[in-house]
Every structure is written in structure tokens, then in C-alpha cells.
Amino acid sequence: MAKPAPETHYKKQPKRETNRLPLALILVVVAVVLIFAGKALLKQDDINPGDPAEAQLDQALAQKRVIYALFHSTTCIPCKEMEKTAAAVMPEFKGKVTFIDVNVYDDENTNLLRRMGLRVIPTNYVFDRSGQSKTLEGAIKADSLRAELNAALAK
């Protein structure tokens, strides 16, 4: 009779369960940090409406924003109409178009008025992201303003 093979006694090692929770947590934290860092890089700096209009315009142009600048006075009738039109239209473009309000009788804006070659009020300037502007003199209708802003956004 053949001898049975000797029994080998191996000690069964307890199964090591790898705890993947710390690794998963680290990956989630890294992902969240990257998402927030990416958003911070994409976010445009806020433009302070309290800054002089020329500084606002220069900042917005440097950030390649679409800009709507309204040059007006607070006393002329067409200017008041244009202010109402702008106030009605601009909420539709919040976050897409930077609005710059320029009072032509504010001494702080003298240099900007010369720089833009302003001839009549109200004058509307719509800048596309490349900094090219379209000049619209006089009060314009809300639909025309919307069309100009949409055209600048499409470029």
C-alpha cells in the first residue's frame, strides 16, 4: 500500500482586508481642491462700480469682457430714457456683460470722455471680447440694445 502523502500544515494567514477608505478620502479631497482651484482660475476679477469709470473700462478690457458703457448726463431727456432702457435690459445680461455707467458731468471722467472722442449724449459703446467697440449715439430702443449685446457676445 502506498503511503499517504504527509500532511503539510500550513498556518492559514488571516485575510488582510485592505482598508481603501483613507485612499478614497484622499482622492475626494484632491478632486474638490482641483475643482475649486479651476473655478478660481476661470473666475474673472470683480470690477468695483465705485472705481472711476476709466479704471472700470480698462479692467474690463484687460479681462476681455463684453462691455456696455453708457455715457450720459442725469439731466437730458434722451439720457434719462436711455438710463431706463439700460436698467430694463441689463438684468438679462447679468454675468455676461459688464455695465459701466459714465456721467459726463463728473470731473473724474474728463480723461475718458477725451479718450473716447465723445460728441453727443447719450452715447452707447458696446465692446466685444477683443476690445472692438461699436458706437451708438442717442437713445436707442431696448430691442436694438439687446441685439448689439447679443452680437458682441457671439463674437
> What are the grid coordinates assigned to 64, written together?
476681455
* Secondary structure element (H or E) that encloses residue 149, with its range: helix 142-154
22 is a domain residue? no
88 is a domain residue? yes
45 is a domain residue? no
Give the pLDDT confidence score for residue 5 in this predicted structure: 60
Of 90, 154, 77, nearest to 122 (Cα)?
A: 77
For 51-120, the DSSP string reads S-HHHHHHHHHHTT-EEEEEEE-SS-HHHHHHHHHHHHHGGGGTTTEEEEEEETT-GGGHHHHHHHT--S
Give the pLDDT confidence score for residue 126 in this predicted structure: 98
What confidence tens digit (pLDDT) does each residue in 43-92 have?
557 888 889 999 999 999 999 999 999 999 999 999 999 999 999 999 99
Angle, helices 77-89/142-154, rounded to nearest 10 degrees: 50
Give the pLDDT confidence score for residue 32 in this predicted structure: 65
User: Checking DSSP bridges between strand 66-72 and strand 97-103, what pairing results, if any?
Assistant: parallel
Backbone angles phi, psi at 69, to 5 degrees: -115, 125
Whether residue 37 has pLDDT greater than 80? no
In the block, residue with C-alpha cell 453708457 = 70
Position with higher pLDDT, 102 vs 46? 102
For 113-138, the DSSP string reads HHHHT--SSSEEEEE-TTS-EEEEES
In the block, residue with C-alpha cell 447679468 = 94
94 is a domain residue? yes
Confidence of residue 42 (pLDDT cuts 50, 70, 90): very low
Burial of 70 (0-12, 13-18, 19+ CB in 10 A): buried
Is the pTM higher than 0.85? The answer reads: no
Give the pLDDT confidence score for residue 26 in this predicted structure: 72
What confidence tens digit (pLDDT) does each residue in 2-34 have?
666 666 565 666 566 667 777 666 766 776 666
Give the pLDDT confidence score for residue 21 in this predicted structure: 72
98 is a domain residue? yes
Residues 6+ apart with CB under 8 A from 105: 73, 74
Rounded to an integer, the average pLDDT of 124-132 is 98
Count structural domains, the chain: 1
CATH of the domain at 105: 3.40.30.10
14 is a domain residue? no
Give the pLDDT confidence score for residue 4 in this predicted structure: 60
Domain that holds residue 146: 53-154
